[in-house]
Amino acid sequence: MRLACCRCALAVVAWGIALAACGPTEQSFAERCRDELGLATSECAEVAAWRLPATLPTARGNAYADDERAAQLGRAIFFDEGFARVPGVSCVSCHLPERAFQDGLAVSEVLPGSRGARNSPTLLNVAWLRGAFFWDGRADSLWSQPLFAFENAIEMDSSRLRIAHRIADDASYRAAYQTIFGALPALDDAARFPPDGKPGEPSFDEMAAADRDAINRVAANVGKALEAYQRRIATGPSALDRYLDGDPSALSAEQERGLVRFVKSGCYACHSGPMLTDSAFYMASDVTDRGRAAGIEVLLGSPFNAAGAYFDRDAGEALELPLGPELEDEHAFRTPSMRNVTLTAPYGHSGTRALEAVLSAPGLLYEEGDAIAIGAFLRALEGAAPPPEWTTPPR
């Protein structure tokens, strides 16, 4: 017999995410899990750990991640088309708020005729991802991740010198940046700081080492402001979270069966924890894309990795850098999160997979109706949208 739903009180935490806090119930989830769902004690403990925490995790290498001023600066940069070389392009070009902060395309095509090779993942709840970022893990922190998009020729096609000048030339950016991070370098000296350039281009490579370092630090700080903003693109509790809090009516009977079948079919072997991902990399059939192997090479060559001078040592624990790619890294891609999965089609690193096809994969399921039940359960992973102040550009 189902228990009556508890009355939930909303608690708004510092970054503006509304999270439900339920009072005591007649029977805990752990008790119901064993008695009614028929899962083993270890399986019940696994499911209980899927609850999205009420607090954000510590950021890796970013001392400004929870600074409201940095978040507001990051919000402005996220929506600003002035950082790209091509008009009309910004971070939001691939991460549309109305599409769960992804673009709904198989692979992104930001610049005309410059089609990417990989699917643009959602940014919802990205702060809770535990491992490296991108499908290939080329970034080991959330703040370093957007710096690749800025300088990618088929994304924003910008450069770290251009980023620094954009900050310096805009009075509001300049004031906000210097209040948070300290003084900018003497960017009005064009002989020292050309208007555009990045590693591999003479305009950057021929600068004095100290000046290259100064520009790298500005770029890193812009990344840290963007992380502060992205940490606030967080959903409220999903139906699953309410269910784990002790509200048995939060899931329908079909969704409850889907949860059991998700566990019994072995899906949680790769999709576990609060974000329902193990953050690991697995070999795919796509042999045209080196995946993790190439990502490791990029990561190790980046000045923004955890071993670099721009990683704040007193902020979060760094990921251990790999020594280099191994054979198993070739053609391997990151396990995606299942949070909000029904809002973020199409799927896979190449955007070629449909959810129905994934659920019906041979050997994955072994009971009649599993695909339908698990599909119903996945709808229970949709969280309440982030507050409007974090999904819209500043006025």
Given a contact cutoff of 8 angstroms between Cβ atoms, the answer to whether 318 and 60 are in contact is: yes
Please tell me the chain's helix, strand, coil percentages from 3-state DSSP, rounded to the nearest 5.
40, 5, 55
Residue 82 is predicted with a pLDDT of 97
Residue 301 is predicted with a pLDDT of 98
Q: Which residues lie closer than 8 Å to 266 by C-beta, 6 or more apart?
A: 364
Give the dihedral sign, CA 26/33/57/374.
Answer: negative
Q: Which parts of the chain have pLDDT scores under 50?
A: 1-26
Question: Could you tell me the residue ranges of all domains in the chain?
Answer: 8-58+236-286+335-390, 68-230
| pLDDT tens, position by position, 193-231 | 999 999 999 999 999 999 999 999 999 999 999 999 999
In the chain, what percentage of residues exceed pLDDT 70?
A: 93
Closest listed residue to residue 294, CA positions, set 135, 123, 109: 135
Q: 307 in helix, strand or coil?
A: coil
Structure tokens at 211: 């000046």
The domain made up of 68-230 has a fold known as Cytochrome Bc1 Complex; Chain D, domain 2 (1.10.760)
CATH superfamily of 8-58+236-286+335-390: Cytochrome c-like domain (1.10.760.10)
Given a contact cutoff of 8 angstroms between Cβ atoms, the answer to whether 71 and 389 are in contact is: no
154-187: burial string, b at 16+ Cβ within 10 Å, e else: ebbbbbbbbbbbbbbeeeebeebbeebbeebbeb
Rounded (10°) angle between helices 68-79 and 209-230: 100
Closest listed residue to residue 333, CA positions, set 286, 392, 266: 286
Q: Which residues lie closer than 8 Å to 285 by C-beta, 6 or more apart?
A: 331
Residue 112 is predicted with a pLDDT of 72
Q: 333 in helix, strand or coil?
A: strand
Residue 286 is predicted with a pLDDT of 83
State pTM to two decimals.
0.91
Same fold, 8-58+236-286+335-390 and 68-230: yes
